[in-house]
Structure 1
């Protein structure tokens, strides 16, 4: 049977200025992010161009490869592979009728252990478009009929306060025990309690407050997914948080979510996208206190450094410092942004601009001013600091920092910590000659055995 050549795919290849080998390598690399072990080569792309369709799981990977190359959304249909399966649209925003139902499906899947690994392997979209706050015109009213209200008929301010209180408790558990324990609790509370309340009756003011409170919890859940390295899932949560925040007229959570998306893009190496999200967050920010300004400007500084705009990066850092200096007290606190966070941003900017020694100095300063109870932040900062000290050749200093990292790592369940631990394990394996490194290696092996034993219980 004769096949129809895939002209759409050929056009995308030409626009991307890619040969068959280059597309195949990009697809294999992105496939690994979703747990797919792909081994395509130029001959597979030749078959696709002749009209052979890759299996369904690979089609969005191919579309994402082009999206990252072209810096715009690309769907499977645009790549000549037909429409996406029924459900969430590729590369687009949700319809008004499906928004709340999609969030319900997401949290119910996330609270199900048998589904969580599948969700974690979801594909991160580097070309996701995020409209400005005032551009989002849809409302969730049409979606409410798609989610059952359960036993709750009417909600009031007490239900709103319950959501806000639970968000604070889950954030505390995140810092104390790690996202591995906190996120399943968050997903379960969203699925079993918040979703019915979102579809329940109430006064317009209460319903708006509930949407705002829910958006904050959904944002926190996305933040935890991001730092558990489930980047596709985190991005989905962030998108849902944007919808809820806009519908609840919660400017602050909307801006904070965009900033979180900027940080995610930065962590994954997408500098231009990180800067775009950071600028979008700042542009739609409400008139607020100086801590919010510092919170947003610091991320803009990092985004500017990632695109090697040194002048803009340091200008944003100066604005961050000036704003934070005016933030007396915690009445305008956002995201816990403080001097430790500021110096972390300074370190990130310096590292992105190639100044490794000064980035280490800034990170040490960040640790000196960090509150003692911020275990998650300290764990991550020590992992970053130790890696950079090792990179500079300061092995003994790095070993001391790694020991501090391990003190927290043994008591936290966090994929972010696991990532640092993997770096540590590789480091001691490649440079095990000195007594200091041998002692560190012995502790690494012991901690590794403990983690393995815990995971198998």
Structure 2
């Protein structure tokens, strides 16, 4: 991009009422929200962009997110004058959720198109469930299904379920970044033949459900990779496919993940609360694991609105959880360690740090060898809770164990906890044990 003034960016900033200094502050805030470890943007940085300098990654994605939030609508790289490449990487107006997911997966497999793909911002306006439909609504069902042989399709339905379990297990162990590329390639190659293809009425909903579940896993992996805008598209595509399949279970799980993503990014708005409430509403007839899963997140969000409602939802989640008898699987089980982690989050939001600490201790005891990533994240949160109470020695013990597992994790959530550890220990740098942890962290981060 030549060094000619970026008039498009200037116009958007004016429309948003943002000065260079104000935009720089927003950039730093969104960067921290996404776990970007180094973000030193200031008003001079923004002025260079206005003069025509090209922002370097991850600045474009952060910039588009800031503008989108202020203006209340998605802003593309073309809108902001950040690229001259036509916006043809993805047809964002594609109405068919399966075809949009396929475009996204194919773009992930093409390094030349990943740059523009990664520019998609997380959108608060995309948290609405109004346009996602309702599972079981006849008007949401596809009408172009045809009769063809189904033996192969049934085999592929089973295969997709096994593949989903494989990718989910790997992501749980090592983080979403470890599976995202391979899962996108599988969807773009092996699953693509079923997207938009004619099928028997009897198997079509099952195919749509499997594709929705794979898209949901890609959304989780994208969020854990820090690409929250792309994650939203996968989530919304998964929700719409679940609607077409009449699959209220996958629909409820997807809404729950959308609420979790927004909450983890620091959003406590009524839209996030509504997402969590809708997840519970659609899970009311689901297996106990799914209902408990939805209720626990609702409790976390409700803690910022209504203490009584939060504790009631948490109690109900624990009561329902006791009825789980399903085999482990990405859409059939809810580990007890995860439930106690949500209990800790709820109690922490309510100001009960002692109760949160007790819940985290139980969560760690219940974590299994198949959950190294979740165990490490729980230890990091446990350490932060100890420090908030004033127990430095206990916090250091948990952080040391977290550090031992950190190099094997490919997760922005883990990276955010890693950065939190460094910043929270700086005031204790003269403490010998704290200094040792900081030194170990420095060595790990090199």
TM-score by structure 2 length? 0.78
Contact 2:133 2:240 in 1 (8 A): no
Alignment map for 1:191-230 (pairs within 5 Å): 191-230=188-227
In structure 2, the residue matched to 1:134 is 134
Q: 1:446 to 1:63 in 2, by over 3 A?
A: closer
Residues in 1 aligned to 2:386 and 2:112: alpha-carbon distance in whole angstroms: 40
Whether contact under 8 Å (1:155, 1:197) holds in the other structure is: no
TM, length-normalised to structure 1: 0.77
Once residues 192 and 353 of structure 2 are traced to their aligned partners in structure 1, the CA distance between those partners, rounded to angstroms, is 47
Which of 343, 348, 352 aligns to 2:349? It is 352
2:183 pairs with 1:186: yes
SS at match of 2:202: helix
CA positional deviation for 1:270:
1.2
How much does 1:425 deviate?
2.7
Q: 1:103 to 1:154 in 2, by over 3 A?
A: farther
Change (3 A) 1:29 1:176: closer
In the alignment, the residues of structure 1 paired with residue 67 and residue 438 of structure 2 have an alpha-carbon distance, to the nearest angstrom, of 43
Q: 1:39 deviation in Å?
A: 5.7
Tell me by how many angstroms 1:185 deviates.
0.9
Q: Following TM superposition, by how much is the alpha carbon of 1:436 offset from its aligned partner in structure 2, in angstroms? A: 1.4
Q: Aligned partners of 1:367, 1:230: CA distance in 2, in Å?
A: 28
For 2:444, the equivalent position in structure 1 comes to: 447
CA contact (8 A) 2:263 2:301 kept: yes
Q: Give me the whole-angstrom Cα distance separating, in 1, the residues matched to 2:432 and 2:30.
A: 41
Higher relative contact order structure (alpha carbons within 8 Å, sequence separation ≥ 6): 2
Residue 66 (structure 1) aligns with: 70
Give, in angstroms, the shift of residue 393 of structure 1: 2.5
Match of 1:112?
110
Q: Which moved more, 1:201-210 or 1:252-261?
A: 201-210
Matched, 1:379 2:376: yes
Superposed CA offset, 1:36-84 (max 9, x none): 987669x99xx9xxxxxxx9x79965652236xxxxx53669xx99xxx
Whether the 8 Å CA contact 1:198–1:207 is kept in 2: the answer is no
The aligned counterpart of 1:276 is 274
User: What is the Cα deviation at residue 134 of structure 1?
Assistant: 2.2
**Distance 1:441-1:89 versus aligned 2 partners, 3 A rule:** closer
C-alpha distance after superposition, 1:385-411 (max 9, x if no partner): 112222332121111111211222222
- Is 2:127 the partner of 1:123? no
Residue 409 of structure 1 corresponds to: 406
Mapping for residues 362-377 of structure 1, pairs under 5 Å? 362-377=359-374
CA–CA separation in structure 2 for the residues paired with 1:284 and 1:401: 38
SS at match of 2:408: coil
Look up the match of 1:168. 165
Q: Who is 1:256 aligned against?
A: 253
Going from structure 1 to structure 2, the CA distance change for 1:372 and 1:292 (only over 3 Å counts) comes to: same
- The structural deviation recorded for 1:321 is 1.4
What do the CA deviations read for 1:74-105 (whole angstroms, capped 9, x no partner)? 3669xx99xxx866999xx95535x3332222
For residues 433 and 245 of structure 1, the distance between their equivalents in structure 2, rounded to whole angstroms, comes to 55
Residues 304-323 of structure 1, C-alpha deviation per residue, up to 9 Å, x if partnerless? 01x33111111111111111
CA contact (8 A) 1:292 1:333 kept: no
| Among 391, 415, 419, the residue aligned to 1:418 | 415
Q: State how far apart, in whole Å, the 2-side matches of 1:336 and 1:153 are.
A: 29
> Structure 1: where are the runs of 5+ without partners?
1-6, 48-54, 68-72, 145-151, 450-457
Would you say 1:245 and 2:249 are equivalent positions? no
Q: Which moved more, 1:180-189 or 1:290-299?
A: 290-299
Q: 2:264 — aligned with what?
A: 267
**3-state SS of paired residue (2:125):** coil
Contact 2:165 2:330 in 1 (8 A): no
1:327 positional shift: 2.4
Q: CA deviation at 1:216?
A: 0.6
> Structure 1 194/323 Cα, relative in aligned 2: closer, same or farther at 3 Å?
same
Partner of 1:233: 230
Match of 1:309 in 2: 306
1:342–1:62 Cα change, 3 Å: closer
Q: Deviations over 1:333-382 (max 9, x none)?
A: 84631321221111101111222232122111111122232111101111
Alignment-derived partner of residue 96 in structure 1: 95
Cα separation, 2, equivalents of 1:338 and 1:250: 22
Tell me, in whole angstroms, the C-alpha distance in 2 between the residues paired with 1:30 and 1:437.
27
Structure 1, residues 89-125: CA drift from partner, whole Å, max 9, x if none? 99xx95535x333222211122234544554442101
Task: Please name the residue that 2:296 is paired with.
Answer: 298
Q: Kindly report the root-mean-square deviation, in angstroms, between the aligned alpha carbons of the 2 structures.
A: 3.9
Q: For the Cα contact (< 8 Å) 1:271–1:303, is it kept in 2? A: yes
